Amino acid sequence: MTDTLLRYLPIATWGRNYTRATFASDMMAAVIVTIMLIPQSLAYALLAGLPPEAGLYASIAPIILYAIFGTSRALAVGPVAVVSLMTAAALGDITQQAGVGYAAAALMLAGLSGVILLAMGLFRLGFIANFLSHPVIAGFITASGLIIATSQLKHILGIEAQGHNMLDLLTSLTSNLHQINWITATIGVAATVCLFWVRKGLKPTLRRVGVGPTTADIAAKAGPVFVVVLTTLLVWRFDLSTHGVKIVGSVPQSLPPLTLPPMSSELVAQLLLPAFLISIIGFVESISVAQTLAAKKRQRIAPDQELIGLGAANVAASLTGGFPVTGGFSRSVVNFDAGAQTPAAGAYTAVGLAIAAVGLTPLIFFLPKATLAATIIVAVLSLVDFGILKRSWQYSKSDFAAVLATIFLTLSLGVEAGVSAGVGLSILLHLYKSSRPHIAEVGLIKGTEHFRNILRHSVTTDPRVVSLRVDESLYFANARFLEDCIQNRVAGDPHVRHVILQCTAINEIDLSALESLEAINERLHEMNVKLHLSEVKGPVMDKLEKSHFLAELTGQVFLTQYEAAQATAANYSEPPKQ
């Protein structure tokens, strides 16, 4: 019972060793992250197409639930840019078809995402996220960052624009350029430039004038709040909202309400795929950040328990007026750098946000939406990485194809189509590569017992023996390729009397591959050639022993490739060819 409790409630582990010093560190981190998270939460709600208060609500109860069930001591959970964009894309057309409100559909999306994550965690299905390769994730995030930044230009310029892909957004923006509100554009551009400078230049500037490193770091992280305060004061002081500057307006001054997603089977059916994609993308982003930060302190992350923690957070979001959440990169790094020692830092952040939701919301009435848009643009452009194209081209053309296709499809068709195509392309490329495994003919390096590729090394070979090393597990997709390779090598060489398969890299042989081995054995026998195996791994040998293959094998199974070569060469008196 205790082991089960510790497994599913990590708080029971770190909570027993909680000290005043840890509390002080967590509290300092919470103050910094709260300051950073207030404008971010409002901005990401705007990106998701929801009222600004939804961003605050999605950052309170979910953080507390993650603190109880999550294993990362630095991950900061809440709304993030990519998931907010996917939320907007998923809800854009569905709400009209299903006949429910936009905010209610967002609750259902968060609830479905939470249930999917919880189920994956309980059934240990975290490996599903492995189908999203790093190149696909990098391409998807880069393209999403561009779409997000472009989608916010309408708020920067004060015009109307619609669309969930780059082409639609650019077309809509171009057709409405004549509507630019120049006061809004001035605020939006100035806020964007200022935020970029705060991110890159404020800290070095403060250090040059003699400000201490800790103070300079806190000031740089709190920079976006200064921009929010300044632009809000300008709009209020000069009554710019009467001149077309769109503002946040009235925000409910309350704690998150208790909400219940609409019970609609039609809505569930329509949101199930988007919820699954949001769950996978959110989990991959979250676990990547969590593992990176944990490695710096030699801490351990349990991926399946992370699924449970993120699932609980999303269920909490659906019950408290929020929308889908996950672990954010930038705020998690800030949380880590600010000295967070335990997930309690997240809980303290939630308390700070709750105070803001109750007491500070009247102060953001005149906050211009252009400033929130600038906050989003600055945040997401840091995620854009076109360098992945160059790196993947130099290293692997297939990975380059996956990156390029994911970027192109995401930009042209939207985030759901892009990530779906990326997953499909990753699987197809893997199947293609594994269906044509590297098979090397090997020979003996003089003076050793090592066998290497005859095309890469100076080796000794025997014209009567063909030694092949298969560098892949054998399964239905590549079994025929092995058959053809052996047939082509042996059929045209009448000197061959033995074929040795070096099985060093073979971790598994499925039933289709077993039947192929049986066919190879029979065909070689008809050509008066014996088939031998060497260096077969224990688990593979265990499975072979359950079949008739070993009994029908014309040759033998050898412990090492050297032993196999010596045994086959001993049958002849003539020396081997060099």
Per-residue pLDDT tens over the stretch 499-549: 999 999 999 999 999 999 999 999 999 999 999 999 999 999 999 999 999
How far is C-alpha 353 from the geometric centre of its chain's CA atoms?
27
Check pLDDT > 60 for residue 141. yes
How far is C-alpha 33 from the geometric centre of its chain's CA atoms?
23
Check pLDDT > 80 for residue 214. no
**Which pTM value belongs to this model?**
0.83
Specify the pLDDT at position 574.
46
Average of per-residue pLDDT values in the chain: 90
Residue type, 289: V
Specify the pLDDT at position 572.
54
Confidence of residue 5 (pLDDT cuts 50, 70, 90): low
Find the mean pLDDT for residues 117-137. Answer: 85
Find the mean pLDDT for residues 120-128. Answer: 87
DSSP secondary structure, 133-158, as one string: -HHHHHHHHHHHHHHHHHHTHHHHHT
Least confident of 188-192, 488-492, 571-575: 571-575
Check pLDDT > 50 for residue 573. no
Confidence of residue 3 (pLDDT cuts 50, 70, 90): low
Half-sphere CA count of 23, side-chain side, radius 13 A: 6
Phi and psi at residue 444, in whole multiples of 5°?
A: -85, 130
Distance CA 27, CA 18 (A): 13
Share of the chain above pLDDT 90, in %: 62
Find the mean pLDDT for residues 402-408. Answer: 89
Specify the pLDDT at position 221.
75
Q: How do strand 451-453 and strand 439-444 relate by DSSP bridges?
A: antiparallel
Residue type, 88: A
Q: Which two tokens stand for residue 259?
A: 């909400």
Whether residue 357 contacts residue 45, with contact meaning beta carbons closer than 8 Å, is answered with no
Check pLDDT > 60 for residue 575. no
Check pLDDT > 60 for residue 14. yes
Specify the pLDDT at position 460.
93
Angle 134-151/369-381 helices, nearest 10 degrees? 160
Specify the pLDDT at position 97.
61
Starting from the edge strand earliest in sequence, which strands make up the sheet with 530-534, in order? 451-453, 439-444, 465-470, 498-502, 530-534, 557-558
Q: Which two tokens stand for residue 143?
A: 């393209």
Distance CA 180, CA 189 (A): 13
Least confident of 22-26, 174-178, 288-292: 288-292
Q: What is the pLDDT of residues 330-361, one digit of tens each?
A: 888 888 887 889 999 999 999 999 999 998 88
Check pLDDT > 60 for residue 98. no
Closest CA to 337 of 438, 217, 174, 211: 217
Distance CA 112, CA 94 (A): 15
Specify the pLDDT at position 578.
42
Check pLDDT > 90 for residue 577. no
User: What is the C-alpha end-to-end distance of the chain, expressed in Å?
Assistant: 67
Residues ≥6 apart with Cβ < 8 Å to 422: 132, 136, 139, 140, 402, 405, 406, 409, 410
The secondary structure element, H or E, covering residue 466 is: strand 465-470
Closest CA to 72 of 348, 322, 335: 335
Q: Which residue has the higher pLDDT, 460 or 215?
A: 460
Distance CA 243, CA 370 (A): 14
What's the alpha-carbon Rg for the chain, to the nearest Å? 30
How far is C-alpha 536 from the geometric centre of its chain's CA atoms?
36
Distance CA 214, CA 222 (A): 12
Check pLDDT > 80 for residue 101. yes
Q: What is the pLDDT of residues 480-502, one digit of tens each?
A: 999 999 999 999 899 999 999 99
Phi and psi at residue 163, in whole multiples of 5°?
A: 130, 150
Q: What is the pLDDT of residues 196-205, one digit of tens each?
A: 998 888 889 9
Distance CA 504, CA 210 (A): 61
Q: What is the pLDDT of residues 204-213, one digit of tens each?
A: 998 888 888 8
Find the mean pLDDT for residues 90-114. Answer: 83
Confidence of residue 571 (pLDDT cuts 50, 70, 90): low
DSSP secondary structure, 311-325, as one string: HHHHHHHHHTT----
Q: Checking phi first, is residue 51 left (phi over 0); if not, alpha (psi -120 to 50) or beta?
A: beta
How far is C-alpha 198 from the geometric centre of its chain's CA atoms?
28
